[in-house]
Amino acid sequence: MPQDGSPRRDFGITLSALRTFIAVVEQGSFSRAAVALGVSQPSVSVQLNSLERACRVLLLHRRPRLELTDAGRDLLVRARLIVSRLAEFERSVDDLHALQQGHLLVGLSGPHVALRLIAGFVEQHPAITLATRVGNSAMLLEDIAQCRIDVGIVALGAPSGGLWCRRLMGLELALCVPRGHAMAGRKRVAPEDFVDLPYIRREAGSVTRETAERVFGLAAPVARLEITGREAMKEAIVAGLGVGVLFAHEADGDDRLAVIPIAGGEESAAIYAVALEESRDIPVVGAFLAHLQTWSAQ
């Protein structure tokens, strides 16, 4: 028995039965309802009888003429409301499949590449509302796992287990220094070349930090300062607080900084599209992932 002590029903209430009930009332007879629904008259009788057993009330008097009971009149209103809401839901599903409307929440670990990808999708699907959330990769992977965002465009050292991941582009680790710094003219540096310089590192959970520690190995410099976020890192370097590492493309367009590739940092990480495997069946998510894969293949 259910926890509230009420007896368990032997039959469930189905949408088919609700539609049959409404059709019988609207058509005024079992035979006309059968024609309207495209089923046999016995099927109409079975559906209505099943609904009455599930509700444990008589919905229609059959003789001397077909007539709603008081309970039937009350439940007819509710049945019509349920069926109308379902019809509205089905129309929304049709719209989503046609990508006429929809909402998508995308997490970004770095806007530099991701916003260009998003711009192309929005241009192709102007009726879809798209919002973004910025965070480090660890935070965004957790957001995906908890269904707080639909898709992540994130930097990763390797694909994340348990999630659908598609590599979009490789990343190169680079030393970032102020434009007038003594090392600014170097073509390439090794980790040991700046091990004695004041070093700024990213926060825990940052793929930039994880990649740097993997590439540096035993030559890792001692951090003077820990900074949360890419933009704060760049401002700290410009302010003269030390040198730091970024992925090379992240300082594009910032003339205050010089970016020097680090030996061993080539293709040390990549930008991935990440989603829950089951989310790929959601039309707007599937369309967005298909757009990203088309871009990565170019």
For residues 175-185, average pLDDT:
93
Average pLDDT, the chain: 87
Tens of pLDDT, residue by residue over 156-166, are 989 988 899 99
pLDDT at residue 2 in the model = 47
String of b and e for 98-129 (b: at least 16 CB within 10 Å)?
A: ebeebebbbbbbbeebbeebbeebeeebeebe
Give the Cα separation of 108 and 249 in Å (integer). Answer: 15
Model confidence at 1: pLDDT above 50: no
Quickly state the pLDDT bin for 47 (edges 50, 70, 90): very high
Identical fold between 15-97 and 102-169+270-296? no
Q: How do the domains of the chain map onto residue ranges? A: 15-97, 102-169+270-296, 173-266
Tens of pLDDT, residue by residue over 259-291, are 999 998 888 889 999 999 988 888 888 889 988
Give the CATH H-level superfamily of domain 102-169+270-296: Periplasmic binding protein-like II (3.40.190.10)
pLDDT at residue 99 in the model = 61
Is the whole-model pTM more than 0.75?
Answer: no
Tens of pLDDT, residue by residue over 50-102, are 999 999 999 999 888 899 999 998 899 889 889 888 887 877 777 666 665 67
Quickly state the pLDDT bin for 298 (edges 50, 70, 90): low
pLDDT at residue 9 in the model = 46
Chain position carrying tokens 């929304």 = 92
- Listed as own residue / partner, the contacts of 217-223 with beta carbons closer than 8 Å and 24 or more positions apart are 217/191, 219/190, 219/191, 219/192, 219/195, 220/191, 220/195, 221/191, 221/194, 221/195, 221/196, 221/197, 223/199
pLDDT at residue 186 in the model = 93
pLDDT at residue 178 in the model = 95
pLDDT at residue 29 in the model = 92
- What is the domain class of 15-97 according to CATH? mainly alpha
Type and span of the H or E element at 21: helix 15-27
Percentage of residues in the chain with pLDDT exceeding 90?
A: 49
pLDDT at residue 96 in the model = 63
What residues form DSSP beta bridges with 106? 132, 151
Percentage of residues in the chain with pLDDT exceeding 70?
A: 92
Model confidence at 133: pLDDT above 50: yes
173-266 carries CATH number 3.30.70.100: no
pLDDT at residue 7 in the model = 47
Distances (CA, A) of 92 to 14, 80, 96, 128: 21, 18, 6, 13
pLDDT at residue 268 in the model = 82
